[in-house]
Amino acid sequence: MTEKLTAAKPDNLTAVKGMNDILPPDSARWEWLEEKVRQLMACYAYRNIRTPLVEPTALFVRGLGEVTDIVEKEMYSFEDRLNGEQLTLRPENTAGVVRAVAEHSMLYEGGKRLYYMGPMFRHERPQRGRYRQFHQIGAEALGFGGAEIDAELILLADALWKSIGLTDVRLEINSLGQPDERKAHRAALIAHFEQHLDVLDDEARRRLHTNPLRLLDTKNPTMQAVVAAAPKLIDMLGEASLAHLNTVKAILDANGVAWTLNPRLVRGMDYYNLTVFEFITDRLGSQGTICGGGRYDYLIEQIGGKPAPAVGWALGVERVLELLKEQGVASPAPVLHAYAVIPDVATLPIASQTLQALRAAGVSVQMHPSGADGMGSMKSQFKKADASGALFALVFGADELARGQVLIKPLRGGKDDLANAQVPRPLNDVASWAATLQSQA
Ligand code: ATP
Ligand code: MG
């Protein structure tokens, strides 16, 4: 029943196009960003949720909408070879979070604030800031209908930019109203575009009657003028929708977060209503949206859960890191406190004991590795110690060991005496000097 799997020739074994390896030292930047996010999410009382990378295809078709870029052309979908289930590598994670929330009745006792980080998959044309496996960090607040939660999420994103030193981003907001307002707008949109059929591309013509809102999200430059002239949803909003938007604006204003209203902002998925927003930069070319989100009050119901309002956003990690690099924000280098220089193989057991005690006390230490010629010359070991970037060498020489000591030799120069002199320290009381090594970082 199953097809035969064939192995590629060994010289074909490279990463899949558009899917990147993230290697050190770049990976340190990723960890740094993730840590900042964890700290910030804790401050806003958002809790981590981890859902599968693979979901039933129907979740995305139903959740995101059949006539969307993602569902029409970007999903990695496949049939489970063993049971024939239709599955998809998640192209985004709002639908997955909503599924989990509904499946586990998580809103039973009230709203939930959640966040996630992880890879997403979309079959797009790879280019700078656009990959086939990319990473998102997302925040979702489910079970809350108030505009203050929309604002809270925007403030959270803004606080993240501040905490990582990102500056060149602007915030655009819009309101997509409620279904009845959308209906009136939809009719007006169709009427408008029907008068300009000649400038619509094939995709737009095909979508005109199934999902005209999508035409506003087109990336086709020749359609921009007719899109700009299209009727605006914001002009058709009722009092309640406008009040919701105004509350969001007022909270942003009170917190000094600048925004501009972009009546063309629609986002790529069908599930949004009321508030939508994007954080955009001009420094990454056409891949300038670093974060997007909005309210999705009907999605939970749409995928079969008990109706509940919700709002959230997702940011593109690659684009955020690219922008940071563009702005010259320095990458945090990992600290290595010490490099262990070990002249004799016979010393390895006692040296390793000391290193374990240091690591248990929070000191980072790298041990010189043996080779065919044993531990190698002192000169070559010091060369490696220097190249490692360590602040100190720990020298496990025979004379020091005989006295129950290890010699600490500064490699970089630094703050106090320890940085300038070679100091012997007792092997049997690592705790007494471990903190001194750490304090030099
Ligand atoms: P775009 O208009 O650039 O295609 P999108 O509207 O499809 O973006 P969303 O689905 O809203 O993007 O995803 C949220 C964020 O995830 C985007 O703002 C972007 O930063 C990032 N993102 C989306 N697709 C990719 C991708 N293929 N590669 C890298 N980052 C991406
Ligand atoms: Mg896209």
* Residue-wise pLDDT tens digits, 28-71: 999 999 999 999 999 999 999 999 999 999 999 999 999 999 99
- Counting ligands in written order, which one lies closest to the CA of residue 127? 1
Task: Encode 147-167 in three state secondary structure.
Answer: HHHHHHHHHHHHHHHHHHCCC
**pTM, rounded to two decimals:** 0.92
Ligand 1 pocket check for 314: Cβ under 6 Å: yes
Parallel, antiparallel or unpaired: strands 273-280 and 310-316: unpaired
Q: Check pLDDT > 50 for residue 177.
A: yes
Residue 291, ligand 1, Cβ within 6 A: yes
Q: Choose which residue among 69, 265, 287 to substitute to test ligand 1 binding: the one with the highest number of ligand atoms within 8 A of its C-beta.
A: 287
Chain mean pLDDT for the chain:
93
Which pLDDT score, from 0 to 100, does residue 418 have? 57
Ligand 1: does its nearest atom lie under 6 Å from the Cβ of 92?
A: yes
CA dist 254 and 251 (Å) reads 5
Residue 69 CA, ligand 2 centroid: distance in Å: 7
> What letter represents residue 100's amino acid?
A
Mutate to test the pocket of ligand 1, among 136, 169, 267 (most ligand atoms within 8 A of CB): 136
Q: Which helix (H) or strand (E) covers residue 366, if one does?
A: strand 365-367
Per DSSP (E only), the strands in 69-176 are 77-79, 86-89, 112-121, 133-142, 170-175
Q: What angle do CA 260, 263, 265 make, to 5 degrees?
A: 90
What is the position in ligand 1's atom list of the atom closest to the CA of 267?
6
Question: How is residue 220 annotated by DSSP?
Answer: -
Q: Phi/psi zone of residue 152: left (φ > 0), alpha (ψ -120 to 50 degrees), beta? A: alpha
Ligand 1 atom nearest 291 alpha carbon: 18
Q: How many angstroms from the chain centroid is the CA of residue 42? A: 16
State the pLDDT at residue 8: 65
User: Cβ neighbours of residue 41 under 8 Å, at least 6 residues apart?
Assistant: 47, 48, 115, 139, 156
Residue range 310-361, pLDDT digits in tens = 999 999 999 999 999 999 988 777 899 999 999 999 999 999 999 999 999 9
Express each pLDDT in 256-302 by its tens digit.
999 999 999 988 888 899 999 999 999 998 889 999 999 999 999 99
Measure 124 CA to ligand 2 centroid, in angstroms: 8
For residues 196, 198, 199 and 203, what is the CA-based torsion angle, rounded to 10 degrees? 100
Rounded to the nearest angstrom, the distance between the alpha carbon of 411 and the centre of ligand 1 is 45
Mutate to test the pocket of ligand 1, among 74, 75, 90, 134 (most ligand atoms within 8 A of CB): 134
Query: What pLDDT score was predicted for residue 420?
Result: 63
pLDDT of amino acid 268: 81
Burial label for 198, CB within 10 Å (0-12, 13-18, 19+), is exposed
Can you list the domains of the chain with their CATH numbers? 26-177+237-326 (3.30.930.10), 338-438 (3.40.50.800)
